[in-house]
Each structure stands twice: as C-alpha cells, then as structure tokens.
Chain A
Amino acid sequence: MRRFVTLLKREIQHYFHQPLAYIVLFCFLCITGFIFQLGVGALNGATSQTTVIEAFFDSILLWFPFIVTFPLLTMRLFSEEYKLGTIEPLMTAPVGDLAVVLSKYFGALAFYLILWAPTLLYFVIFHVVTGQSSAQSFSQYFGSYLLLFLVGTFYLSIGCLASSLTSNQIVAAIVSFALICLMFFLSVVTFVFPSADRFLGDVVYYFSTIEHMADFSQGVFDTRPIVLYLSLTLFTLFLTFHIFQHRRWRS
C-alpha cells in the first residue's frame, strides 16, 4: 500500500513537472469559461426553462474540449516509460504490476479531477454576480459532476489501455481518441438513420454519453449508466493490466 501511494504521488507529480499539464489546464479553463459565458448569454433575457447548469453541460460545444483532454492526459502514461526505458528500473523495484497500472490510472484520474474542480467556481461566481441560482436543485450539480466523474473513469481507462499498447505517444493518443470518439458519437447513429428499428435506438441510448448527460444534468439519476461506466472501467483496466504484463512476457 505504501508503495502504491509512493507511485501515485510520483504520477501526479509527473503531470506538474511538464509544461503540457499547464497548457491543458489553461486552455481547458479558457474554453470552458468561454462556453459557460456563451450559455449564460444565450439564456439571458430568453424565456426558457433551461437552467444555467444544463446550458453548460448539455451543450455540444463543451464536448469537444472534453474528449480531447483524455488522450492528452493518458497518452504518456505507459508509452513514455516504454520509450525512455524507465519501465525497467520501475519493474525491477519490488512493486507488483497491478500497483503500477493502478497508480498510473489513479494519477490520471486525480489530474482529471483537478482539471474540473475550478469549473465549480463558474457557478459560484454566477451566483455572486447575478444573485440567481444556476440550478433548480442541488441534485443537478451533483448529477452533472457525478456523470463527469463516471465518464472520466471510463475514458481515462481507455487512454490507459491505448498507452499500454505502444511506446509511441502519438499512436497512443490517436488510438484512445478514436475509441473515445466511437463511444461518444454513437448517438449520432440515430440522427443518421432516424428510421432505424427501436432496438438499435435503445442500444444507442443506453451507451450514449450525450444522452446520459442530458438526464444527469437535469438531476435525474439513472443507475444504468453508473453500472455501465463502472463495469466498463473495470473491464478496460483488467485488459490494460494483462496487456502490460503480456508486453514483458512477449519481449
């Protein structure tokens, strides 16, 4: 356990040792801030039932910076260690393979949370400036951020998987981006084939992150997506663990 904590600390520290972390943080805040402002601007003076939080989270604009962050956060996790060869001193220290995989994953998750934490301030600032609440109930905040967390756990595990496959960070980024896009834009299928049968529509609905977000940002909790994301995360991490082990066995 102590070794896991040591590794985890190192992983988080590693993010802040590199300029990429600050660039991502900065750009992410600029873009989300801008989107928040657009959302508020669109609602301003309009007669609408939509709350500010829905306007922010349920907007298609937000999803672009959202999905781009995952490959950026995860692409170096394993690839860099393979490339630099630092995996060798790491794996000859008395640490298990599982501890290494989990520390990398949770390190990325921690950075993901750090990335999103300042966006909570937008709602605080909005409240202070306008004196109005940005949601009808607390459950809307909770739902939105819970889903962000759940989606994050799953997409980061995809990033881990992609990074464990190759020593090339660019390849890792492209693979994870492709997989995440595939999952994310599944709901487009129903737009393209509006006449598709109900079964397909249902499947798409169950898997589509955009649909889930629409529900959760209204404060509607559905256990199905929660189970879906958590089980997919576990499965992907399990795959990552085995690929990571396999690489050493094969070589």
Chain B
Amino acid sequence: MIKVQNLTKRYGSVTAVNEIQFEVGKGEIVGFLGPNGAGKSTTMRMLSCYLPPTSGTAEIAGYDIFRDSLRAREHIGYMPENVPLPQDMRVDEYLRFRAALKGVPGRRIKERFADVCELCNLTDVSRKLIGALSKGYRQRVGLADAMIHEPELLILDEPTIGLDPNQIRQVRDLIRNLRRHHTILLSTHILSEVEMTCTRVIIINKGRIEVSDTPENLRSRLTKEGEILFEVSAPDPAAATAKIKALPHIKSLNSHRTQDWTRYLIQADEDLREELHNLAVREKWRVRELTQRVATLEQIFAEITHKEDI
C-alpha cells in the first residue's frame, strides 16, 4: 500500500526526514511514534502529497506521490494534525463539499455522508456550524472527512490529541473497526494507544527510522533477559538472599525489606520463575509476588529515543 524509498525532506539546512525507508502492506495498522520534531508530521505530509520531498520517492497504491500526485491522493484519506476546518460551514455542508471534491459521484454522496456520520457519531451535530463544535466533535469531523471517499489508506496525524479519555477510547475503537476496510498509518504520542490498536510500530527519531516491528516483538526484544520481581517472607532473610544468589544464571540482585517481607529485583540471563518457585516451596517461604517484568512500549520508546542523548 505504501512504499517509501530514501525519502528525505530538508528545510533549509535542517534535515527533518533523513532517507527513511519502509513499506506498509494492505490491512496493516501502523503506529508512527517519535518525540516532537522527530519528523512524523513531515513524513505524513509528504505521503499525503502536501509537501514535495527533497529527494527520494514514495508510492501510494502504486502511484508515485510526486508524479501521479492527483491519482495517489484519490487513494488517501488524510487527517492533518489539529484538524484545520473552515469555521463558516455546517458539518453536513462541509462533508458533502469534501465528498464532491474527492470525486464521490453525486448520487452516492448522500449515502456516504450518512455512513460516515453514523461511524463517527456526527448525526446529532450535522446541522451545526463547525466553528461552534467542541474539540472532540471537530476531531470526528476530520476523521469523517478522511473516510468519506472510501480511501484504501488512512493517514491520521495524531487523531486522539486533545481528547478526553472517553473520546480517546471511542476513536480507538473506531480505528480498530476500520481495519477491515482500510490500511491505516497513524501517529501518536500516547504509547498505550499504539499497543492497543496497531499491528506494527515504527519509531522515528531525528528524521530516521529506529525500529519497525510489531509491538509484541518489540517487547520481547527488550524482555528476554528476564527481569523478575520476587516478594517473599522468609524466617531468615539473609539466608534467603544467599540462597537466591546461589541459583544459576543470576546476574544481579536487589532487595528491599519491609517488616517481614523482602522484595527482590532479580536480573538473570534466563527466565528463572520456575526455579524461584521451586526454591520457595522447598524452603517453605511465603510468596506474594513472582512476576516477570514486561517492558512497556514506554520503556522501549525511552530507550530508543534517548540513547544518543545520554
């Protein structure tokens, strides 16, 4: 669906996007992650044919974004950051205008309008002026606009920014439902959102792609060493610590005592949960926690985007 090759964008001497390269297949939901100024929006603007790239090429549904720009645009539904909308139009006027502009045949406009209104819950406000809508509704109008011509590819630049938690959940559900018919490329700051909706994550930093993988793979990549939390109550804590230390593969051990409970943070080469359990059973310790620490996307993100700064 998307094929990006050596795409570069320079603003004067600043390189916003530096020779990035990736592909997005049909039906994927790809989350674009990165700190502010990493080049997410610039990349999306280039893909949606708004900004011409400095060098490199990209293809959308087989059409070059530069040479076949108009054809490529027909296959894209783009929702820009902050959703700029004309203030003077009513919601239905705007969506019908956009549908006509994007080449939806006259007889189908009514049907498409009804469809997107229902999908985005806009039916109640369809006669309201866009200027009078709340942020959440404006966001949904932007989303409805992006979908109105049934594009194969949706490019959504921060679709949930500035929404309240309920609205974020609604948008997230909506995006997940769209998966059946659309390929989606979305950018966001909210990492939990990516974990919940995306089939693949692309982390971009300083104009370069750092990682492109599924959220699960990313997580396992950073958790394979096995960081384990183990909280026990042993009659002799010092002896217990020594016994745990004696287990094979242990790299380091931190303990923290509160009254009769001791909490260990264990770094090991392998997953030692079973051995720890057996040890506790043998020694008749009371256990109240034994978990493998799973890296969240947050940690992965911090690790990847900060490694150069430290």
Contact = CB atoms under 8 A, between A and B. Distances in A.
Interface of A: 2-3, 6-7, 10, 13-14, 17-18, 84-89, 91-96, 248-249, 251
A94 B103 contact: yes
Contacts, number: 67
B61 to A, nearest CB: 13
Interface in B43-90: 45, 48-52, 70-71, 73-74, 76, 78, 80, 82, 84-89
A91 B50 CA distance: 6
B51 A248 contact: yes
Given A17-B89, A18-B88, A84-B86, A92 B145 contact: no
Interface of B: 11, 45, 48-52, 70-71, 73-74, 76, 78, 80, 82, 84-89, 93, 97-98, 100-103, 142, 145
Contacts of B80: 85, 88-89, 92
A246 to B, nearest CB: 11
Contacts of B89: 17
Given A93-B102, A96-B70, A248-B52, A84 B97 contact: no
Contact of A249 (B52, B97, B102): B52
Nearest to B73: A94
Central interface residue in B84, B85, B103, by most chain A CB within 10 Å: B84
A94 B84 contact: no
B78 A17 contact: no
A14 B88 contact: yes
A10 B97 contact: yes
Given A92-B76, A92-B78, A94-B73, A84 B145 contact: no
Given A84-B84, A84-B86, A89-B145, A248 B50 contact: yes
A88 B50 contact: yes
